[in-house]
């Protein structure tokens, strides 16, 4: 199975640096309250105005900062540091927070962008630099939104797109541990409330524009919340026929018919995120579990299907390297 190497890291970082500051095309998440709101992206988002949309810019930053930490001597590292010094400043963060405080921004980027913002802050905190301190107020804004939203979310969001709650909670929980014990506990309680009794998942996926597996994201989240023995019991009840290769769809990479179509191109992301999930699930089950080998094989075939397509068309190029990093690391 392909693993992350310095050459791959440098290539991903260069690719992402090329669009972190590319303001157009840009898909705004904006409710106009009057003509004064019709302004260029960088005036609304002093930091996250590149990479086609806000959340892709946020996780693009997560990706390059993580790669720089893992490979500090790579050729792209000086450019990453210089851009971070210029962009990740208290003044720019204040601008991002001002947008978030708009009355019509309550649902802005919920929950996907919220989770990636927390993941970015957690990554920045691992660097010896002022960037995490600058971003911290924005991270706490999003943590507060999770605190308010999760108790009100009666039913889990099981879709395979940006609204998937299991994926968001995986990232948010990683941030909350050691920073916000109350949020970590809330995530634990809500996830078990929604998912602990799930059985015999049919895995009717993928949808035609999905980049996350509802079934596998749920399983990966559960693997983070309960111990190995309990997780194995839950997982084999949740997907009881994996040993016989069913549901077959979870073992079969998605076909991407048109990579210039931004929605259809999501399916490359599905293959990469499934690879990430399968690897995490295999590790959680342990080598003695009968599904372990199947899970590793599924991770490999999904990664092989879409890793060659991280670059080539901007509809995938502006975001796929992040999910490739998840799958490879």
With contact defined as beta carbons under 8 Å apart, do 214 and 160 qualify? Answer: yes
Q: What is the pLDDT of residues 246-268, one digit of tens each?
A: 999 999 999 999 999 999 999 99
Measured at the alpha carbon of residue 162, what is the angle toward residues 160 and 164, in degrees to the nearest 5? Answer: 55
pLDDT at 246: 96
pLDDT of residue 60: 98
Confidence of residue 3 (pLDDT cuts 50, 70, 90): confident
Q: In the chain, where are the structural domains located?
A: 1-143, 194-329
pLDDT digits (tens, 9 = 90+) for 183-192: 999 999 999 9
Residue from 312, 305, 310 nearest 324 by CA:
310
Cα 241 from Cα 312, distance rounded (Å): 37
Q: Which residues pair with 27 in a beta bridge?
A: 53
For 35-46, what is the mean pLDDT?
A: 97
* Token pair 């590149």 in the structure block, residue: 50
Q: What is the full DSSP assignment across 105-133?
A: GTTTTTTHHHHHHHHHHHHHTTSSSSHHH
Query: What's the pTM value of the predicted model, to 2 decimals?
Result: 0.98
What DSSP line would sit under 205-262, residue for residue? Answer: ---TT--S-HHHHHHHHHHHHS-HHHHHHHHHHHSTTGGGT-SGGGGSPPP-S-TTST
- Write out the H or E segment, with its range, that includes residue 299: helix 292-306
- Summarize pLDDT for 54-67 with one digit per residue, the tens: 999 999 999 999 99
What's the pLDDT score for residue 64? Answer: 98
pLDDT level of residue 110 (50, 70, 90 thresholds): very high
Over 90: is that where the pLDDT of 1 sits? Answer: no
Q: How far apart are CA 214 and CA 206, in angstroms?
A: 9
CA 327 – CA 329 distance, rounded (Å): 6
Mean pLDDT of 222-236: 98
pLDDT reading at 2 higher than 90: no
């Amino acid at each position: 199975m392909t693993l992350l190497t310095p050459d791959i890291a440098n290539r991903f970082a260069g690719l992402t640096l090329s669009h972190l500051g590319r303001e157009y095309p840009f898909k705004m998440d904006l409710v106009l309250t009057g003509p004064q709101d019709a302004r260029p992206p960088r005036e609304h988002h002093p930091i996250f105005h590149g990479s086609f949309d806000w959340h892709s810019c946020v996780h693009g930053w997560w990706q390059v900062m993580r790669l720089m930490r893992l490979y500090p001597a790579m050729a792209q590292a000086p450019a990453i540091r210089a851009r971070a010094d210029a962009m990740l400043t208290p003044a720019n963060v204040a601008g991002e927070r001002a947008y978030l405080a708009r009355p019509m921004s309550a649902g802005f980027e919920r929950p996907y962008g919220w989770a990636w913002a927390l993941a970015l802050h957690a990554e920045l905190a691992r660097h010896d630099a002022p960037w995490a301190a600058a971003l911290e107020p924005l991270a706490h804004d999003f943590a507060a939104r999770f605190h308010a939203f999760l108790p009100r979310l009666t039913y889990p969001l099981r879709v395979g797109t940006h609204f998937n709650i299991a994926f968001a909670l995986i990232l948010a929980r990683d941030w909350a541990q050691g920073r916000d014990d109350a949020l970590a506990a809330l995530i634990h309680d809500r996830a078990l409330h929604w998912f602990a009794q799930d059985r015999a998942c049919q895995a009717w996926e993928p949808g035609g524009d999905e980049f996350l597996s509802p079934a596998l994201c749920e399983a990966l989240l559960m693997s983070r919340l309960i111990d190995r023995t309990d997780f194995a019991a839950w997982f084999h009840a949740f997907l009881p026929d994996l040993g016989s290769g069913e549901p077959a769809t979870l073992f079969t990479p998605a076909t991407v018919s048109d990579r210039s179509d931004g929605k259809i191109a999501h399916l490359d992301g599905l293959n990469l995120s499934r690879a990430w999930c399968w690897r995490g699930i295999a590790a959680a089950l342990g080598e003695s579990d009968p599904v372990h080998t199947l899970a590793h094989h599924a991770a490999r075939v999904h990664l092989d299907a879409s890793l060659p397509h991280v670059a080539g068309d901007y509809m995938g190029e502006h975001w796929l390297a992040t999910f490739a990093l998840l799958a490879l690391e």
